[in-house]
Amino acid sequence: MMHTSLDHLIQLFSKLPGLGKRSAERLVLHLIKKKELALYPLIEALQETAHNIHPCSFCGCLDVRDPCFICSDKNRDPSILCVVQDMSDLLAFERTGSFHGLYHVLGGVLSALEGVGPQDLNIQKLLSKVQKQKFDEIVLATNATLEGQTTFHYLRDLLIPSGIKVTRLAFGVPLGGELHYLDEGTLSTALKARQVQ
């Protein structure tokens, strides 16, 4: 019985991104050994996350608050909007400390291969936001992957008629690069040298 639930737990962990069977096993055994220090706090944090974390109704950022910590921050510049694919990209920009505007999280990218169309992404909300709020600039910060570029072109074509300045990151990174893997310096430079479309 014990063995079965242990196996089950290891299997669950091994399905997480970046974890293989071996590391999942190590992790689980560690958690069991360090119940007070690691396992109980983890259970608590997972429960908190499961019950209270939701996408912000304004930008899609994951937070326990709505509006999220970014949308409710009065010190941020509401005239510039950075459109990102996922929460991991938002966090990557936040780590650079060089972006002080607002975000919009798409929740993915267009992909014919995986059957992801515009209706599957947080695009409608982006368009109505752009109509309502006065942005001076929208940075389309999708990945330098094929899907990221397709999404960029799609959004650019939708946004340019609004007359708002649309920019994209200057990529000093190889094609195929995903933003959240970039180091802070590279991402920060790509942001500072962004180009008007």
Residue 80 and residue 67: Cα distance in Å, rounded? 17
Question: How many residues in total does the chain contain?
Answer: 197
Which segment (43-51, 55-63, 80-88, 169-177) binds Zn ion by CB under 5 A? 55-63
Q: 104 and 84 in contact (C-beta within 8 Å)?
A: yes
Question: Which lies closer to Zn ion via its Cβ, residue 104 or residue 180?
Answer: 104
Q: How far is the CB of 104 from Zn ion (least distance, A)?
A: 9
Please select the residue that binds Zn ion; options are 59, 123, 144, 191, rule is CB under 5 A. 59
Q: How far is the CB of 35 from Zn ion (least distance, A)?
A: 36
Biggest CA-to-CA distance, the chain: 64
If you write DSSP's letter for every residue of 85-132 in order, what string do you get? SSHHHHHHHHHHT---SEEEE-SS--BTTTTB-GGGTTTHHHHHHHHH
Contact mark string toward Zn ion, 133..172, x via CB under 5 A = ----------------------------------------
Question: Which lies closer to Zn ion via its Cβ, residue 78 or residue 117?
Answer: 78
Q: How far is the CB of 102 from Zn ion (least distance, A)?
A: 7
3-class secondary structure, 166: strand
Contact mark string toward Zn ion, 77..116, x via CB under 5 A = ----------------------------------------
Question: Which lies closer to Zn ion via its Cβ, residue 68 or residue 190?
Answer: 68
Q: 38 and 30 in contact (C-beta within 8 Å)?
A: yes
Distance of CA 144 to the CA centre of its chain: 15
Q: 29 and 7 in contact (C-beta within 8 Å)?
A: no
What phi, psi does 196 have (nearest 5°)?
-75, 135
Which segment (34-42, 56-64, 164-172, 174-182) binds Zn ion by CB under 5 A? 56-64
The answer to whether residue 56 forms part of the interface with Zn ion (CB under 5 A) is yes
3-class secondary structure, 16: coil
Q: How far is the CB of 97 from Zn ion (least distance, A)?
A: 18
Q: How far is the CB of 73 from Zn ion (least distance, A)?
A: 9
Q: Which residues bind Zn ion (CB under 5 A)?
A: 56, 58-59, 61, 68, 71
